[in-house]
Amino acid sequence: MDERLASAIAHWAPRFTANGVTPADFARVTASVDTWPEWCAAWVAVGEQHEALGREALSEGRLRSGGEHLAQAAAYYHFAKFVFVEDVEQMKAAHARAVAAYTDALPHLDPPGRRVEIPFEDATLVAVVRTPPGDGPFPVVLMIPGLDSTKEEVCSTEQTFLDRGLATFSVDGPGQGEAEYAVKIRGDWGPVTEVLYDAIGREPDLDRDRLGVWGVSLGGYYSVRVMAALGDRATAGVSLAGPFSFGECWDGLPALTRDTFRVRSGTASDDAARTVASTLDLTEVAGDVTAPMLLVFGRKDRLIPYQQAEKVHAAVRGSELLMLAEANHGCADYSPWHRPRTADWLAGHLGGDVGDPAAPTHVASSVRAKAGV
């Protein structure tokens, strides 16, 4: 097994299985490849099997199953391409299949979703909106993926918010997902924030006055940037595994992560990519965050040292820090220890249901009142 393949398996197994890949499939695919160049095709092949299950279910009128299978296939296609930058054309082909499968799944998810296309500079950002059952407008969580994640990967995290009465607005930002080929990674998300804030305001079933922000990994960095740019327009935010300064982490990053950043930042060398990475820094903006923030981090993070979370905590006034002693990057290996708690925390601030889902409405309202909403 070559070094890059071993690195991918060692770093990302919990992330895959927490976000749509079955443990059996993970074991089956990773056992079938010996070198990194085989990675993408192997995951696409298994993704095709799940997509076939979805297409068959749709043709038979089993729409719920069809949506579930296609969303799972999208996750497999996504993980085929997530850091596979050595063959960009193969990566793009797998990505296109992820987008197509997920787009076809959206109407049949529970609850369903819809695509929203947002003009940005000379390109387009794409988001997926999902709303809980009932009458809106709903409080909404802007969800921001990381360097190598996309809106197709956060479906299971969305569900924790939807179950608590919160809508989700999951976006591929600059350098991410559908925007990664036309818009490069940037440290300053001020202009991005304004475009997304306006887009959320155009959706009649979303209540922009009850706006939360959630981001993972590099998206955790962006979430702090967005909170700073929004000021008092934001209600609450969560940063999961986000760095204070990405440049400070550069030397400890795996080669696959550095290569991915290099491609998505539009740079030609590792040194040039490091220069761009140094612009992803919260020093000048962390003090501008005025709404509550919850920071979640794993002390055994092998990509972003846990001291980065402590720096964010010190710089963002009034922030809360949940440090999981045994968790790795993104805390996917300890999902039950943070996902429900994060969802409850945001629901408490935004006005979602943090109590018993079977309880009468007045009980849920009472819980919200006790949470200070």
Residues designated catalytic:
217
Which CB contacts under 8 angstroms, 24+ apart, belong to 199-204? 199/116, 199/118, 199/127, 199/169, 200/140, 200/142, 200/169, 203/116, 203/129, 203/169, 204/136, 204/137
Rounded Cα gap, residues 361 and 122, in angstroms: 46
Beta bridge partners of 333: none
Q: Give the phi and the psi of residue 73 in degrees, each rounded to 5.
A: -60, -40
DSSP reduced 3-state for 323: strand
What is the rounded end-to-end Cα distance, in angstroms, of the chain?
53
Distance CA 355, CA 337 (A): 18
CB 125 within 8 A of CB 195: yes
Q: What is the DSSP string of 132-161?
A: -SSSS-EEEEEEE--SS--GGG-HHHHHHH
H/E/C letters for each residue in 239-298? EECCCCEHHHHHHHCCHHHHHHHHHHCCCCCHHHHHHHHCCCECCCCHHHCCCCEEEEEE
| Residue 58 structure tokens | 């749709």
Phi-psi region of 50 (alpha: psi -120 to 50; beta: other; left: phi over 0): alpha
Query: Tokens at residue 236, please?
Result: 């609450």
Q: In 3D, which of 207, 205, 214, 203 has the Cα closest to residue 233?
A: 207
CA distance 145 to 215: 6
